[in-house]
Amino acid sequence: MTFHPLSLRLIDAPEFQRLRNLKQLGFCYWVFPAASHNRFEHSLGTGFLARKMAEELQRKQSLDITPEDLLCVEIAGLCHDLGHGPFSHSWQRFVRAYGRAKGLPRLQRWKHEQMSPLLLQHIIDRNDLMPEFRASNLGEDHVGFIKSLMDGTGNDHPFWEKKSFLWDIVANKRNGIDVDKCDYFLRDSHLLGLQNTFEYGRMIELARVLLVPGQGLRVCFPKKEASNLLDMFYQRAQFFRRAYMHRVTCVLESMFIRAMLKANDAYRIPVGSETSSSLAEACLSPEAFVQLDDSIFWAILHSNDPSLGDAARILERMQTRKLYRVIKEAIIPQQAVTQEAVAQQAVTQACPSPERVFMMFREALESHFRSLLPIFVRDEDYSVYHIMVDFGKLEEYPLRNVSFYSKDSPDTPLQLKDDSLFLVPKRFLERKVLLLSCTEDEKINRDLENAFSMSIGKFGLIEDLFKVVPQQPEH
């Protein structure tokens, strides 16, 4: 694995080296002990594959890809995950939980992708790398290009008209097929011990750039690879179901989020010589954010600060495996979400996003559940955790926005019909809700279970997928 000298300067920056201390799969490592890999090696792999794919496209076609473009794509792959916080996606969920609790929309919608370009700029400024960028023929416009490639949305970028296909390589927002997934599929499956049938090498080798009407120049694939690509999306869902959203992983994450919420204001992160930031609000400051990694767990656990005592006790429960107990679980049919949205007249408003519609359902469900609890049941006695497993595009058919070509007409883009592949699932999205008990008090647990059962019934959730096989009449 080789990198451009400028990429090596970025890799050697302390802010990039911080990725060594961020577990790629967060609390999955606590369930699958071999999954000890970090964001650092994933970022190296993504940067390497990003350049490899761009070079492969250039080798096969007469495309307008300059050496500077190749370097920009490589750096975008390397830096795409700079914005992850402690225990990866768990930190994002903590920040959003804090935003919901405090009514802060900016934090409710926060994603690690927002921090990544800010940290790239922070690395360039703090390490005075702009002269080295210029020595590699990269100016400020190229830095903006790299940030846009990291984000995956560049419709308004000056390079878009002639080079829009480059946005499909690192963070493909159009259909989700990119080298980021190629790397983590291979890496995660190996270390989790899960089978991976997706052949990323064929995807890169057979990719081709075509002019797709209404979309510009896009990366396309031979139509014979449709099944392989569908396997990729199916594999993603299986990884979520069996590992990323494993029940124990979810319980651990729920406990971690609660601990961070309790520690948020007491644990201060210095910003400059006179100011400091809380944990959640560090996502608004690159200077504060770069100080965060997985060591926050042990810093709070072993702190002598009395104001961190409640958080430390939760972390100690995690470490000693005295975990919250799942006392109820239910599947959330999409019909239930839609009915609640209609009841709240959300669908008559200005086209709310699917995420916003589900958030309204979630708030209604949890509010109803709380209203049924006896007054002596505290918020600290339970936790409600939501799980989502999909093929990468919520309810949408995963190959809908993928363009193909045929061997006979390699320059003609093709679109796949939704029903043109066999063995396609009926649904591409699954949501679950878990009720976790944080107490050993059996009376409280019974009250929690009874109240949740009533909420399940009211909102049309499915508690049991199975039924007793009916007896056949005797002849």
Same domain for 239 and 361? no
Same domain for 338 and 224? no
pLDDT confidence of residue 200: 85
pLDDT confidence of residue 397: 86
Q: Is 60 part of a structural domain of the chain? A: yes
112, 122, 157, 246: the active-site residue? 112
pLDDT confidence of residue 469: 81
- Residue 319's region, left for phi above 0, alpha for psi from -120 to 50, else beta, is alpha
Same domain for 71 and 165? yes
What domain range is 370 assigned to? 324-391+428-463
What CATH number did the domain enclosing 75 receive? 1.10.3210.10
Q: How far is CA 117 from the centre of its chain?
A: 16
Q: Is 423 part of a structural domain of the chain? A: no
Number of domains in the chain: 2
Q: Could you read off the pLDDT tens digit of each residue along the chain, which spans 475 residues?
A: 899 999 999 999 999 999 999 999 999 999 999 999 999 999 999 999 999 999 999 998 989 899 999 999 999 999 999 999 999 999 999 999 999 999 999 999 999 999 999 999 999 999 999 999 999 999 999 999 999 999 988 788 888 888 999 999 999 999 999 999 999 999 999 999 998 888 888 899 999 999 999 899 999 999 999 888 888 898 899 999 999 999 999 999 999 999 999 999 999 999 988 899 999 999 999 999 999 999 999 999 999 999 999 999 999 999 999 999 999 999 999 888 888 777 776 555 566 778 888 888 999 999 999 999 999 999 999 999 999 999 888 888 888 899 999 999 999 999 887 655 556 777 889 999 999 999 999 999 999 999 999 999 999 999 877 777 887 777 6
Active site residue 112: yes
Q: How many residues does the chain have?
A: 475
Q: Which of 199, 226, 247 is the last residue of a domain?
A: 247
Same domain for 206 and 339? no
pLDDT confidence of residue 293: 97
Q: Which of 225, 247, 269 is the last residue of a domain?
A: 247
Q: Which of 214, 247, 280 is the last residue of a domain?
A: 247
User: What is the Cα–Cα distance from 135 to 157, expressed in whole angstroms?
Assistant: 23
What CATH number did the domain enclosing 454 receive? 3.30.70
DSSP string, 63-132: ----HHHHHHHHHHHHHTTTT-BTTBHHHHHHHHHHHHHHT-HHHHT--HHHHHHHHHHHHHHHTT-HHH
330, containing H or E segment = strand 325-331
Same domain for 241 and 338? no
Q: What single letter denotes the amino acid at residue 13? A: A
Q: Is 282 part of a structural domain of the chain? A: no
Same domain for 61 and 146? yes
Same domain for 231 and 336? no
